[in-house]
Structure 1
Amino acid sequence: MIPFTLLSELRGRVEFSDEVPVQVRWNLGDVIGDAGNHAPRILVSTDEWDEKVRSAIADGARVVEVPSRSEGIAQAVDVMRRALRLGEWEQSQTHASLMAYLREEVEEFDEAVRGGDEQEMRDELGDLLLQVLFHAEIASQRGSFDFDAVAMSFVEKMAKRSPYLFDGTHQVVAIEEQERLWELGKQAQ
């Protein structure tokens, strides 16, 4: 998506890095006006590591990132995808080989909670997220599921077990009712 506020700035010679889908190129061609050969160059990319992008940045190009680029989850998924593409160690891992690391990270998070150190808890949750991302990317590479599917499985579970989160409820739900609904949802699975 192109933020509406950027549309007025998009005038120039448009170039694309290789990974940009043809459909996007066609659609952007309808939106971005070409101001002739002397117009500024606009490089459209979804890959900050692409050679064209790195070269343009090195040459002092102005970088405009859409808001989603500043979202941690999207960046985390991209970093893990890149790690599995470029790292030999990462490529050698399996769900089973990563289990010891997952257990270790759970223990470290437990220690951080018991220690009451907020920064340490945040960092250890990041390490746990790394494990979830890693397992999801391994599955994605074999065509099974990806991180988005994992996230949606959470949403689907919550919809079944905590329907008040999805039905417009605005008041606090009592613990007893939460537990009852959770068990009902669990039994329905």
Structure 2
Amino acid sequence: MTVLVLDARWPDLVPATAFVSGAVRAPVSISDAVPRDVAALADASAAQAPADAGAGAEGTWVTVDETDAEARRRKAAGEPVIRAASLADPVAEARRVIAAARGRGEWERGQTHVSLLPYLAEEAGEYAEAARAWQAAEDAGGAGEDEEAELLAELSDVLLQVLFHAEIARGRGAWDFGDVAARFTAKIRSRAPYLFDGSTGVVDQAAQDAAWAAGKARERNGAV
């Protein structure tokens, strides 16, 4: 008896440990939330999985939502849980948390891009203060754990603002955090092509400035 939790982003990536450990047992039952093509693959592999012995054996529950009723019931009964390794991705978890906050919190639901601007300015200012304190400590002999912890904490607050704005946009079907990341990469690909051409070594600042300017010019002309 096993609960197999797949990543909804890549549900066809089944953890190899599920098969190496022999934890996947027949019969294999599939949550309705699992895409049908993945469910078909699971059905086809069910015949190859060893069966749980005894009447009423429950085999394996495959889901993309560890909080669904069947997964919770089985976990409460002590069944082992195998999770896709990608579910441990802290960026994915941050996106899940902000989506839940926006969906359930009355205050979060009432915010807009404009209403959040004071918080964005505040968090950016606090990060700047933490960065200056870190630099002062570094110049005085080396920043310590306290300065590093403060810098990290304040930068996470800035990230919260980015996540929040992206979640608001996702809610209206415009774009999301993944699109923000993709836009960043596209801009850097345009303005710093040496990072993508397979070359190595340090690029001098003059070459960097020239590449950046050329990239901006292409963007203005709609060539990117």
TM over 0.5: yes
> Higher helix fraction: Structure 1 or Structure 2?
1
Deviations 1:124-147 (A, max 9, x none): 111111111111111111110011
Structure 2 length-normalised TM:
0.77
Once residues 85 and 15 of structure 1 are traced to their aligned partners in structure 2, the CA distance between those partners, rounded to angstroms, is 30
Say if 2:214 is the partner of 1:184: yes
Of 47, 53, 72, 1:54 maps to 72
* Identity in percent: 41
Runs of 4+ in structure 1 over 6 Å off: none
Structure 1 length-normalised TM:
0.90
Any idea what SS the aligned residue of 1:96 has? coil
Aligned length: 189
Query: Equivalences for 1:12-161 in 2 at 5 Å?
Result: 12-33=26-47, 35=51, 38=54, 39-116=57-134, 117-161=147-191
Once residues 123 and 95 of structure 2 are traced to their aligned partners in structure 1, the CA distance between those partners, rounded to angstroms, is 19
Displacement, 1:32? 3.7
Query: Equivalences for 1:158-173 in 2 at 5 Å?
Result: 158-173=188-203
Say if 2:36 is the partner of 1:6: no
Q: Is the 8 A contact 1:13 1:37 kept in 2?
A: no
| Structure number with bigger Rg | 2
Deviates more, 1:60-69 or 1:4-13: 4-13
1:18 to 1:111, Cα distance in 2 relative to 1, 3 A: farther
Structure 1 unaligned blocks of 5 or more: none
Q: Is the 8 A contact 1:17 1:43 kept in 2?
A: yes
Q: Is the 8 A contact 2:25 2:52 kept in 1?
A: no
Q: Greater relative contact order (Cα 8 A, min sep 6): structure 1 or 2?
A: 2
Once residues 86 and 16 of structure 1 are traced to their aligned partners in structure 2, the CA distance between those partners, rounded to angstroms, is 28
Structure 2 unaligned blocks of 5 or more: 1-12, 135-146, 220-224
Displacement, 1:36? 6.1
Displacement, 1:45? 2.2
Deviates more, 1:51-60 or 1:31-40: 31-40
